[in-house]
Structure 1
């Protein structure tokens, strides 16, 4: 038999014997019709140890066990020659003498000689053959029935084989895959990125795990899906790449659940952030801006916050929205750098909308107004009243919603959210989140409204109870100041007074009701009226304080107050001073010497059980007495002794008038907004009073 004919015959027979033989070391032997070996390849030599020179011409049955009884081998051979072939397991002797179990496949093959034939024998080690057959069965079963999409590709990334699961994922039969690349079959997915990852695997040999395929396939052309892909390089026995194995799992449901979980986490984080960042002060403008800043960029790309004009102006909320809406823009984010934000009204602008405008209707209904997908049709109702809707649409806004600021049954304003980025339209979850943020801001806005209303009421009450005009007795010059606390703090209960007594003396009064708000101001008014009545009874200073203590005891809720009562005789300079927990008064001699009067401090009124004492002293004509509340000398982070020393330093400087002295004290000691109310009273003893 010629070599080329032998190779042609053996190659065809190998294919007939099963495709999995390519992965098994198989010896190929040929015999003549009488069983003599005529062909013995290198694999046969490796398998049984005999070189071809020792085997050629011998009967093949001589190689079978047992060595002496060759009847089994000859009977198998006769069957192989006369029949269609045999397959089975036999025991052969290795050249070194040990038995070796083989699986053989033997079949007659016609030759070109007329009537001639030969027998072609394939032999393999039995254990290895059974392992290969088992692996092949497992692979075939896995490939056919696995729910995981599986594909085999060649080194040019063309499909060689795909399993039914992958066919179902792609919506294409196996015949449509074979010989084609992914970019040709599925242009609706990120095929180019996937092929780039596959080439890296072929080049480096490093597998790729969990690469995401995203997009649409003919199996579901209307929806985006997500698959987790893994790629492993296939190699020949010498380690050369021969292809690629790919596995795909559809993780769309898990991805959606993960995205939903992440969205919930982001919403909770944003709500938590809002609880910290919105409402840090009782200031309307700052609260509105905090809402806008919090919502950008996690919820929207641009946010505006408007409150009712009456609220922004500090007035009552008004009759309602029957005739239209008038609002003032107090918040906008971002403030600059956004084309859409630049189109919208700036901060501080007052806007008016008719009753038929969507803006007004959203306020009146006190419900969110949402346009998930903004277009020319959806903006038509608003475009009749303003050019802004068409301009924001042209600037790229594709989704829009308005959410009322609603608190305690009252609509206070409106927050508007614009989306420009490709995040999709506002969803129900987005609307719910926007309502949560708006509700928090609305409560803070309403708190600010109520606070400012009470603050203004307390301030009016306190100013009305302070002496509107002080008529000093002869021999006394008076200057006074009252500085309310800044808007960030509540009005306190500070007051001062100068009362002319029947005998030409003067009672100098300085008090501070502890606490803030309307109640403190009311108690201050009550005490100040009581002091005026008691002073005219010519009671001793300690007796006046005892009566004020009793007045505080009559209150249903405990209240404390510090108090300073000083009676001065302008003709003699004689002074009687009593203190109830109040800062000490200061005295300035005509030569500029300053001292704090040494007077027992006492306990504040309302503590109870205190026996007040009175200190007597005499001041020279031309001396100054300076009375003040603690707001003048107390400051965060400063020691009270240092502040009192600073007070004496300011008093020691020459001034042109008592008014200039008052202004200088406030300027030097309170350079910024006051944290507490300040009452200041400066009295000069002129020495001109008649005895």
Structure 2
């Protein structure tokens, strides 16, 4: 028996065909059947082949060793699974039968040895004969089946359907192909078969019977299912950059046709973005249940809930699979598997209740790192896991492991970026009695959480406070690192007590000449379009004046106590990094209980609206802000102005300044005479007594004596002494000289040089700041019982 496809290529080659013509199956399968001809086919045969009709007759075939072999053949068209018409050819030798072999015996041998399940039916749909393989699949003998239709053998859906289809083929003469799923006697599960029903016609074209051919396609169907599962895994696993979500996707993809229950456990460091370190000498392994899926509702097979951890001893199958990095397959009768299950709380009960029959444990490994373990169970599916199933599970687990490792690496990078951002931005705003502040920071990318915007509140001498808001163009780690450098530079320059315009000028010089690292800059002015903007404001609670300068940054918004919103007209100044253009300082007098709002352009500008509409919504949000807590003000601003996710990072700083009254500040004009030192010292002691700060009188009188003496000796009149009581005690001496003193260590026989050293030792901090009319030397002392500061908060 030989079968061909629609192109004439040989697709089946029986053992009798090999004995008849000498060709082994591996030599002949896939070749064209015309290559076996030793002579041309008869014209009747060609006509029948063209018309797709049965034909019987004699032909001459070529033996493997070259001699011609006369054959008697019967060729029948048969439709394949692809819908194309092929041929089934029954051939026998036309030479005299040797050693008394008769045609009935030969036909019996063919039916017994035919590797295809074939049955022959007559015109009345009664089975005439069948191959041995067909009889085995039907579970009966040849005597039991001969002369009876299929429905009489075993009434049921499969045989009834086949019988009906055969009768239709006998009636219409058209072949039929269909997929069937049935379970043969002795098999543990249903199998897939392709059913071919082909009419048999005589030379006159009359239908005299039909052939029923059944081919087991279960291996091909399994192969297609496995390929579909791998393809499904490649598209569904790794949709996010979260290790736990990726683990759940692996469980969801694998559960169903492949496994009845799947759980995915990850090593705990993987979830934090760290690289796990498994060592064989460890006593056990702790795993985090990241995902699980079941064909049953509620995952009753699970002994650990998602989000919980479990620990396995090093001699258990899961720990060995993890440490050794090798997959394992277990059955219910495996002693080590049963011992491990028995050691689990409720393990034996779970196995018996659900009938767990087969288990696979596959480690999740990527780039040489073991990340976790995937466990596959079967209890509803009666088939045990085989080696092909283990290879498929390893293929899916390998794909998932790469996605989990990508998520782990992303988590590590994100944690690094967030740590950098948290350390660069102020964690807690300082408690300043001069003003109450609140802040917000919103990154444009909520997943990475990093950007180049920043804000800061810097305490200055004389109870003054500096407010800073800046924006580095760009985003990501580089912009965040650049922001940290600029913020550090601003704090360093602010500590020198520079005016706002001079501070921005120095900051601009630092960017231009010291390569602070703005994103995209290759060095030199104008080398790139990546810059930074900044607004620097200094508030003095004694004079209630605010000095503001900005470098290409949006102007602040002022809210009067009556709710009037105003945007002061301040010189914009060039962005930092442009160079060559000056900055200007503007003096603003702030009324009591007003609000000053500083922000970056990400708050009021986006692709969906312009700056004017953003500023209008900001004014509406601030209109009702007087008297309200600043935390509520910040929330209201963000809710009102940001209609959706911001396109750029947003930094918001809201401050409510206060004024020091006469009870907190005392001033004394000092004559430029050495005799004025003692009265100044006595005045300071009297003022501290009035403030009930007698404990600080001794140190204060000593500091006043040294600072006033230096001003009289080296400075120029007028000289003024000022004491400021806040959370600390500040002593300031101002004169008209621009010469600043320097701290030095006096030699043994020097008469002077020890005053500033003494002040530095007795004070919490001290310094010098220059003004337009001279200089001020100040000293700050910590009070024994500091006043309660106004609350200042910051939140991102």
Q: TM-score, normalised by structure 2?
A: 0.56
Match of 2:550 among 578, 581, 586: 578
SS in 2 for 1:384: helix
**Aligned residue in 2 for 1:616:** 586
**Aligned residue in 1 for 2:250:** 291
Q: CA deviation at 1:593?
A: 1.3
Equivalent pair of 1:457/1:518 in contact (CA under 8 Å):
no
**Aligned residue in 2 for 1:230:** 197
CA RMSD of aligned residues (A): 4.8
Q: CA deviation at 1:488?
A: 2.1
Q: Counterparts in 2 of 1:411-422, with a 5 A limit?
A: 411-422=370-381
SS in 2 for 1:361: helix
- 1:153 correspondence with 2:135: no
Q: Counterparts in 2 of 1:526-565, with a 5 A limit?
A: 526-535=485-494, 536=496, 538=498, 540-541=501-502, 542-550=504-512, 553-555=515-517, 558=520, 560-565=531-536
In 2, the alpha carbon distance for the partners of 1:283 and 1:516 equals 22
- 1:361 correspondence with 2:320: yes
Equivalent pair of 1:153/1:245 in contact (CA under 8 Å):
yes
- 1:629 correspondence with 2:600: yes
**Aligned residue in 2 for 1:323:** 283
**Aligned residue in 2 for 1:651:** 622
Q: CA deviation at 1:596?
A: 3.5
Q: CA deviation at 1:626?
A: 0.9
Match of 1:480 among 434, 438, 445: 438
Q: CA deviation at 1:577?
A: 2.2
In 2, the alpha carbon distance for the partners of 1:357 and 1:215 equals 40
- In structure 2, stretches of 5+ residues that fail to align are 1-53, 59-70, 76-89, 93-113, 522-530, 668-796
Equivalent pair of 1:303/1:418 in contact (CA under 8 Å):
yes
**Aligned residue in 1 for 2:758:** none
Structure 2 vs 1, CA of residues 199 and 303 (structure 1 numbering), >3 Å: closer, same or farther? same
* Number of aligned residues: 538
Equivalent pair of 1:369/1:403 in contact (CA under 8 Å):
yes
In 1, the alpha carbon distance for the partners of 2:191 and 2:465 equals 90
Equivalent pair of 1:579/1:599 in contact (CA under 8 Å):
no
Q: Counterparts in 2 of 1:417-566, with a 5 A limit?
A: 417-422=376-381, 424-467=383-426, 476-483=434-441, 485=443, 488-501=447-460, 506-514=465-473, 519-535=478-494, 536=496, 538=498, 540-541=501-502, 542-550=504-512, 553-555=515-517, 558=520, 560-566=531-537
- In structure 1, stretches of 5+ residues that fail to align are 1-133
In 2, the alpha carbon distance for the partners of 1:493 and 1:424 equals 59
**Aligned residue in 1 for 2:310:** 351
- 1:384 correspondence with 2:346: no
Structure 2 vs 1, CA of residues 461 and 575 (structure 1 numbering), >3 Å: closer, same or farther? same
Q: TM-score, normalised by structure 1?
A: 0.64
Equivalent pair of 1:152/1:245 in contact (CA under 8 Å):
yes
Structure number with bigger Rg = 1
Structure 2 vs 1, CA of residues 453 and 480 (structure 1 numbering), >3 Å: closer, same or farther? farther
In 2, the alpha carbon distance for the partners of 1:638 and 1:421 equals 58
**Aligned residue in 1 for 2:177:** 210
In 2, the alpha carbon distance for the partners of 1:664 and 1:648 equals 11
Match of 2:363 among 394, 397, 404: 404
Q: CA deviation at 1:273?
A: 1.3
Equivalent pair of 1:403/1:435 in contact (CA under 8 Å):
yes
In 2, the alpha carbon distance for the partners of 1:469 and 1:224 equals 69
In 1, the alpha carbon distance for the partners of 2:419 and 2:178 equals 71
What do the CA deviations read for 1:394-443 (whole angstroms, capped 9, x no partner)? Answer: 41444322222223332222222233454844444443443343334333
Structure 2 vs 1, CA of residues 464 and 176 (structure 1 numbering), >3 Å: closer, same or farther? closer
Q: CA deviation at 1:206?
A: 6.4
Q: CA deviation at 1:264?
A: 5.6
SS in 1 for 2:343: coil
**Aligned residue in 1 for 2:166:** 198
In 1, the alpha carbon distance for the partners of 2:473 and 2:347 equals 52
Equivalent pair of 1:578/1:612 in contact (CA under 8 Å):
no
**Aligned residue in 2 for 1:247:** 211
In 1, the alpha carbon distance for the partners of 2:483 and 2:580 equals 21
In 2, the alpha carbon distance for the partners of 1:135 and 1:471 equals 102
**Aligned residue in 2 for 1:51:** none
Which region of structure 1 is more displaced relative to structure 2, 136-145 or 513-522? 136-145
